[in-house]
C-alpha cells in the first residue's frame, strides 16, 4: 500500500508572499501530476513531471520532482488571490489510475 502525504494541510498567507507545498510518498512513482481545485469544481491539471530531478516552471509556479522519485514540491512566487484553491498531487504508480493526496488548501489574503 502506498502512503501519500501532502503538507501542509492548510496554508493561509498574505498576497505577495512566497510559499512551498509538498507531496511525499512511501513508494517510488513513475510520474506525478499537480492539480488545482476550486470549490464546487473539478480538479484542473497544472503540470506533469516524469523525470527524477525535473523542474518545471509555469509562470509564478515552480514544480520539482525529487531525485528519488518519491516526492515533489510546488513553489509559488508572489502569491495572488487567484492562486487560492486546493492543490492536489497525484502520483502514478505504474497503473492507469491516479491516487490523489488529501491536498493543501491554500488561501491568499488580499
Q: Residues interacting with other proteins, by CB under 8 A?
A: 31, 33, 35, 40-45, 48, 88, 90, 92, 95-103
User: In this structure, what C-alpha cell is assigned to residue 34?
Assistant: 499537480
Q: Which is nearer to other proteins, 14 or 95 (CB)?
A: 95
To other proteins, the closest distance from the beta carbon of 51 in angstroms equals 14
- Minimal distance in Å, beta carbon 53 to other proteins? 19
Q: Which is nearer to other proteins, 33 or 72 (CB)?
A: 33
**Closest CB 43 distance from other proteins, rounded Å:** 5
Round to whole Å and give the CA distance between 16 and 85: 16
Nearest to other proteins of 18, 39 (CB atom)? 39
Neighbours of 37 (CB within 10 A): 16
Coil/strand/helix, residue 81: helix
Amino acid at each position: 500500500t502506498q502512503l501519500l502525504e501532502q503538507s501542509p494541510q492548510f496554508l493561509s498567507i498574505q498576497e505577495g508572499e512566497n510559499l512551498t507545498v509538498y507531496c511525499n510518498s512511501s513508494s517510488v512513482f513513475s510520474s506525478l501530476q499537480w492539480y488545482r481545485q476550486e470549490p464546487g469544481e473539478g480538479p484542473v491539471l497544472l503540470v506533469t513531471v516524469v523525470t527524477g530531478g525535473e523542474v518545471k516552471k509555469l509562470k509564478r509556479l515552480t514544480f520539482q520532482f525529487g531525485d528519488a522519485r518519491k516526492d515533489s514540491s510546488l513553489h509559488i512566487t508572489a502569491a495572488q488571490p487567484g492562486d487560492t484553491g486546493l492543490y492536489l498531487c497525484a502520483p502514478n504508480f505504474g497503473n492507469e489510475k491516479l491516487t490523489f493526496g488529501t491536498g493543501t488548501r491554500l488561501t491568499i489574503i488580499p
